[in-house]
Structures are given as C-alpha cells and as structure tokens.
C-alpha cells in the first residue's frame, strides 16, 4: 500500500512556495519570458525561502526533507513559471543533490551551503553537440597531469550554464573504455580555461539561461573529482531516478498552470450567447485534461516516494520502471494538456497576450530534455524485458 496523502510539513511547504510564486514570480512571469532574462535577485530570494536546499541535510546548509518535498517545490514553481522551475531543478537537484549523493565531506561542506543560500548557482553539464541521447559518447576529455586534470571539449544545452558558479561536468578520462572511462568533476566557473561561449535562444523556458560551455586546457584539481575516476556513470545512475521524479513534477506543475488558465478562460469567453464552458465539447476537454493531470500526479508522486524509499535503503524492485514511466507519461501529458489549453483559448491562445502560449512553448521540452520520449520508451522497455 502506498499513501499519497501529503504530510503536514509537505502541505505547508507547497503552500509557502505557492504564495511565494504568486507574490514574487507571477507579476514578472511574462517579462521573464519576453526578455529571456533570469530575474535579478531571484536565486537569493529562493535561498532565503529555504527551497534551494530542501533535500540537503542541515549540516550542509539545507533543511533535509525528502525527495517528494523537493519535487513539490518544482511543481509549485512550474504552475506559475516553468522557466524558474527548470532552473530550480538544475540547481537544487542536478547539481546539489548529486553532490549530496556522491560528494566527499569536504566537497559537500565547500559547495552545498553557498548553493543552498542562493549565493551561488549550480548546473550539470553532460550533453555535447554530438552527444545527446547517446550520452556516453561524449568527446570532452580529461587528462591527468600530476594532481590535476586538463579538460578539453564543449557542452551544450546546459540549464543555468550561462550563470552557474558550480557545474558537475562529465568528461572521458579513458577514451578506450567507453562508458567505463567517464568521470564526473566539480567545475568552478573561475577555473582557468573555462568559458561560456553563448546563451541559447530557446522557444520556451525563456529566462532559464541555457548555455554552451567551453573547456580549453581547463584545469580541474584532483580533489574535484566527484565519485571515482572512471566512475562517472555510477554518479549518473545514482541520481537518475531522483532526476526523473523531479522532472515529472516540473511537467505536472506546468500542466496544472495551463489547465487553470483554460478553466478561467472557458468560464469567461462568451460565444453563441453563452460561456464556452457550457458547451459539452469544451467540458469534455476540461474533464480529460483534469483526469490526465490527476493520473500524472499519482505516477509522479509514486516515483518520488519510491526514490525516497530507495535512498533510505528500501529494496523495492519497481523504482526504475516507475520513475521511467513517470517522466515519460507526465512529459507527454503536459504537452497534450498545454495544447488543449491553447485550443480552448481559440485564436487568442495563439496570440502572445495570453499566458497560455507560454506554457505551450515551455511544455515541449518535457518530451525532449533529460532524455526524449523515444529514449524513455526504450529504457522502460529494457527494464520490463529484463525482469
């Protein structure tokens, strides 16, 4: 039996983030999108709210709550601004959680407190121009020279890459060993040889600053290896289920945001002398959208609860399947719900003046980023066939 009732603490956290988003993000959500700029001071505000270190233990500057709590923050932020939410996920989960899971005591003390407070921004750099779905084919190399590594290569599509202070970076330390020759590093933006080559001009999630990174004889000290040398895939795999769980609530939140806009518009828009909400074809759309969202919520929260359970030593066998299914289903659900929300808005949905178009553009990434729907299906099928 699995209990989907949120604890008092989780409900309070959800409410706190919802209030913060309504007060601090809603009034500037359109501007963030239009200007494609991360709002000044937002990291510090999120840090002060305590949400950047939700899943990080108190000893490292966080509040030590569970994975579901961290994912609920992402859901609430995405209801108002998927851009803020995706950047939050890259920082709090891809960077902070992976350091929490794989870092040495020294690394955790050095990097986590300043990221939990919002004084510094985190990112994760895996994807390269020629290595997307086939992530283990990365070409960035790290050559050991005494007590340091010399890194050469480039990364693309890196969320927060333009502004990040701390980046988990994957590079090949043994080119002949395939997946067994990859190492994860903690890169600081001030390390010699590191630069940001450009910011990407995206269709959606604008304001979440996505960038291309270049390492030219970039020096990373040996103590900044995350996990083991040639153990990068183990680092990747350790964070994978949590990443999928987080990503599914991000997609869930944006579907909820688009649904709220559609419901409001259906009540207000009058045609044939009546609100369009009184037409059964519009009602059917609303009913289907809500049903999809609620089904997605169950799968998504289940993924978070199982990921939590696994962290606490649980030996459940469903984890990989459920997290893979959650990120697949919820991503496609968000894409579908946001498209229907546009349809309910008719021609106005196709104009920039209504917020629903922003959710529609933002939602597309939910079937692409961090693994495409196609790859998610292949991975899930592999899990199913394995046992």
Ligand X SMILES: Cc1cc2nc3c(=O)[nH]c(=O)nc-3n(C[C@H](O)[C@H](O)[C@H](O)COP(=O)(O)OP(=O)(O)OC[C@H]3O[C@@H](n4cnc5c(N)ncnc54)[C@H](O)[C@@H]3O)c2cc1C
Please give the residue ranges that form the binding site for ligand X (CB under 6 A): 90, 123-127, 132-133, 157-159, 202, 205, 210, 365, 368-372, 374-375
Task: Name the strand (E) or helix (H) holding 199.
Answer: strand 194-199
Q: Please, what is the minimum distance in Å from the beta carbon of residue 159 to ligand X?
A: 3
DSSP conformation letters of 335-365: HHHHHHHHHHHHHHHTSTTSTHHHHHHHHGG
Choose between 47 and 207: whose C-beta lies nearer to ligand X. Answer: 207
Note whether 144 and 174 are within 8 A (CB): no
Q: Verify whether residue 243 is a known catalytic residue.
A: yes
Q: ∠1-330-21 over CA atoms, to 5°?
A: 100
Q: What minimum distance in Å lies between the beta carbon of 296 and ligand X?
A: 20
CB of 370 to ligand X, least distance (A): 5
Q: How far is the CB of 372 from ligand X (least distance, A)?
A: 3
In angstroms, the CA 321 to CA 8 distance is 29
CB 360, CB 237: distance < 8 Å: no
Our CB check for ligand X shows the closer of 103 and 371 to be: 371
Nearer to ligand X, 260 or 378 (CB): 378
Residue nearest to ligand X (CB): 132
Q: Where are the alpha helices (DSSP H) in the chain?
A: 8-20, 29-35, 42-49, 67-80, 82-88, 98-102, 105-116, 232-268, 280-311, 319-349, 356-363, 373-386
Element (H, E) at 207: none
Residue number, 292 or 370, with CB nearest to ligand X:
370
> What single string gives the DSSP state of each residue in 29-44?
HHHHHHHT-PPTTHHH
Q: Which is nearer to ligand X, 124 or 255 (CB)?
A: 124
Q: Which among 76, 128, 243, 256 is annotated as catalytic?
A: 243
Cβ of residue 387: shortest distance to ligand X, in angstroms? 22
| Residues belonging to the active site | 243
């Amino acid at each position: 039996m699995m209990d989907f009732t949120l604890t008092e603490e989780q409900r309070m956290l959800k409410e706190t983030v919802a209030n913060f988003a309504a007060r601090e993000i809603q009034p500037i959500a359109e501007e963030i999108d239009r200007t494609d700029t991360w709002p000044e001071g937002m990291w510090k505000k999120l840090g002060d709210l305590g949400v950047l270190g939700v899943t990080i233990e108190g000893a490292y500057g966080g509040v030590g709550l569970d994975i579901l709590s961290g994912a609920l923050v992402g859901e609430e932020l995405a209801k108002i601004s998927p851009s803020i939410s995706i950047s939050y996920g890259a920082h709090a989960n891809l960077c902070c959680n992976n350091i929490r899971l794989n870092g040495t005591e020294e690394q955790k003390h050095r990097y986590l407190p300043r990221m939990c407070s919002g004084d510094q921004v985190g990112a994760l750099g895996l994807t390269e121009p020629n290595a997307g779905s086939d992530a283990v084919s990365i070409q960035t190399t790290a050559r050991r020279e005494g007590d340091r590594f010399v890194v050469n290569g480039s990364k693309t599509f890196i969320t927060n890459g333009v502004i990040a202070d701390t980046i988990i970076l994957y590079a090949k330390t043994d080119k002949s060993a395939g997946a067994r020759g990859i190492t994860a590093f903690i890169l600081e933006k001030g390390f010699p040889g590191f630069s940001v080559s450009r910011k990407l001009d995206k269709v959606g999630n604008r304001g979440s600053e996505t960038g291309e990174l270049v390492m030219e004889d970039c020096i990373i000290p040996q103590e900044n290896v995350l996990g083991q040398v040639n153990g990068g895939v183990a680092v990747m795999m350790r964070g994978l289920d949590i990443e999928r769980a987080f990503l599914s609530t991000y997609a869930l939140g944006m579907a909820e945001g688009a649904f709220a806009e559609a419901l409001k518009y259906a009540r207000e828009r009058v045609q044939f002398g009546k609100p369009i909400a009184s037409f059964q074809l519009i009602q059917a759309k609303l009913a289907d959208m809500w049903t999809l969202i609620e089904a997605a919520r169950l799968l998504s929260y289940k993924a978070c609860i199982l990921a939590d359970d696994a962290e606490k030593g649980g030996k459940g066998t469903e984890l990989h399947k459920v997290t893979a299914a959650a990120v697949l289903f919820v991503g496609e659900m968000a894409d579908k719900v946001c498209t229907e929300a546009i349809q309910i808005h008719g021609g106005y949905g196709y104009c920039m003046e209504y917020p629903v178009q922003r959710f529609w553009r933002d939602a597309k990434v939910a079937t692409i980023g961090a693994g495409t729907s196609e790859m998610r299906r292949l991975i899930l099928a592999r899990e199913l066939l394995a046992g």
